[in-house]
Amino acid sequence: MAIVIGLTGSIASGKSTVSLMFDEFNIPVIDADKISREVVEPGEEAYEKIVATFGESIVREDGKLDRKELGAIVFENEEKRKQLNEIVHPAVRKSMLEKRDALIEQGEKCVVLDIPLLFESKLTHFVNKTIVVYVDEDVQLKRLMERDGYNEKEAMQRIQSQIPVKEKANLADEVINNNGTKFETLEQLDQILRKWNVL
């Protein structure tokens, strides 16, 4: 029986950082953020729906979505964020499940689904075990502002659009504390995977 791990956390808590560590263990990761970019490429059904809903101002000159502009709209307005989710999420879910099943079919013993909104979207039935990558909110805010160049208001809007990472930690099978160094994070991941007999 393959084990399917749901990797989650809050924005900028360190999911992608932990994802890269799974790569080093040769464990495949299916990345919901990456898929959510693929399913909105021009010509895809979700793309057409987004343009019809949000208007031409969120389309760049090259025809692709202006993600910065769309982000500014949806993180300012909860109703619009929900509308966008309703368009994008079904296609993301379908693709993730197909990829998960194909990897298991190929004989992978462990597959990771990296899903930022695993708990918000109630997708825990997609996985057998959950890991939350936790950081204190001050560390999260600082890393988010540094990584994406948001001001404090923009960063806080994004943090507050999700269930607080502290609450997510209570829902997880295992928690990785990513306040420290990346090496300390790797050590915690290594321990969890040994405990689950994945390594």
Ligand X SMILES: CC(C)(COP(=O)(O)OP(=O)(O)OC[C@H]1O[C@@H](n2cnc3c(N)ncnc32)[C@H](O)[C@@H]1O)[C@@H](O)C(=O)NCCC(=O)NCCS
Ligand Y SMILES: Nc1ncnc2c1ncn2[C@@H]1O[C@H](COP(=O)(O)OP(=O)(O)OP(=O)(O)O)[C@@H](O)[C@H]1O
What is the x/- site pattern for ligand X, positions 83-122, by CB under 6 A? -xx--x---x-----------------------xx-----
Residues 24 and 148: beta-carbon distance below 8 Å: no
Residues 14-33 within binding reach of ligand Y (CB under 6 A)? 14-17, 33
168 belongs to the binding site for ligand Y (CB under 6 A): no
Cβ nearer to ligand X, comparing 49 with 81:
81
Q: How far is the CB of 96 from ligand Y (least distance, A)?
A: 15
Q: Considering only residues 3, 4, 54, 71, which one is a binding residue for ligand X as defined by CB under 6 A? A: 71
What is the x/- site pattern for ligand X, positions 16-35, by CB under 6 A? ----------------xx--
